[in-house]
Structure 1
Amino acid sequence: MSIEIQMLVWSMLLGIVHVFAPSTLITRERGLGWNASARDQPMPAPSPLAGRLQRAQSNFMETFPFFAAAVLAVVLTQRQDGMTAVAVQLYFWARLVYLPLYAAGVPYVRSLVWLVSLLGIVMLLWALL
């Protein structure tokens, strides 16, 4: 299995972590009854940590489709090379670091890490041009 596909799989697993992290905290705050309900009633805002984890999840979901599409395009067109191997690792490791930075509320560094993940996507697109 190529490094590009391996990092895609690891990024998918990271996406699952992004889904469960905020939902676990919010369920602790609101209870299992809320989790099982239709959630028709307005609820108060989640705790600051749960809110940051929700925003990190949204941010991940905004970039992941571009990453996944670029990885699949690179593999299907057989454009894998050293640059694409670095690109997928930049994306994955930056996204892995991004989650705890966002959860901790670390400014600036978090944005820089996000830019590194975006660079990974751009490098994949460059390989397709």
Structure 2
Amino acid sequence: MSSELNILAIYGLYTALILLLQVTGATAQLGMGYLLSSRDEHRTLTGITGRLDRALTNSVTAMALFAPAVLILALKDGFGHASLVAAQVFLVARVLYVPAYGLGLTGVRTLLWLVGFAATVVLYLMALMAG
């Protein structure tokens, strides 16, 4: 397995960890009864749990964009030093993004999002140029 694919797997596990943290916070705020219900009545998460919920949604979106770029490069045998660096930049930016979001560091959060997104775009451009 290439390093880029390992990074994809690591990011998947990281997103699963974010989900566990979000569920833990949601359980504390909303109670197990609400979480087990059909949730017809909408309740809003607040504070750090609310920010973690939004960070989770953003992380899943980032995964939906990042994964195809890496998989296309894998299919085209297009991995190289530049794709590894782009994947590493993505991972670092995304790992730092969640605590920045959770702590309400708005400017830092936005910069980290932009860096991760730019790294993903670079991977797609590499995929288009590969084999």
TM category, shorter: over 0.9
CA offsets per residue over residues 59-106 of structure 1, 9 Å max, x none? 112221110000000011000010000011111111100000000000
Partner of 2:88: 89
In the TM superposition, what is the alpha-carbon distance from 1:42 to its structure 2 partner? 3.4
Number of paired residues?
128
Over aligned residue pairs, what C-alpha RMSD do you find? Answer: 1.2
List runs of 5+ in structure 1 lacking aligned partners. none
2:108 maps to what in 1? 109
In structure 2, runs of 5+ residues without a counterpart are none
Q: Distance in 1 between matches of 2:40 and 2:113?
A: 34
Greater shift after overlay, 74-83 or 23-32?
Answer: 23-32
Task: Indicate the residue corresponding to 1:42 in structure 2.
Answer: 42
Amino acid paired to 2:61: E
1:35-67 Cα deviation digits (max 9, x unpaired):
222222333x22211110111111112221110
- Within the alignment, does 1:7 sit opposite 2:1 as a pair? no
TM-score under structure 2 normalisation? Answer: 0.91
Query: What amino acid sits opposite 1:29 in the alignment?
Result: Q
Q: Which residue is 2:33 aligned to?
A: 33
In structure 1, distance between residues paired with 2:39 and 2:107? 35
Q: For 2:89 and 2:118, locate their aligned partners in 1 and report how far apart those are by CA, in whole Å.
A: 8
Deviating beyond 4 angstroms after TM superposition, the runs of 4 or more aligned structure 1 residues are: none
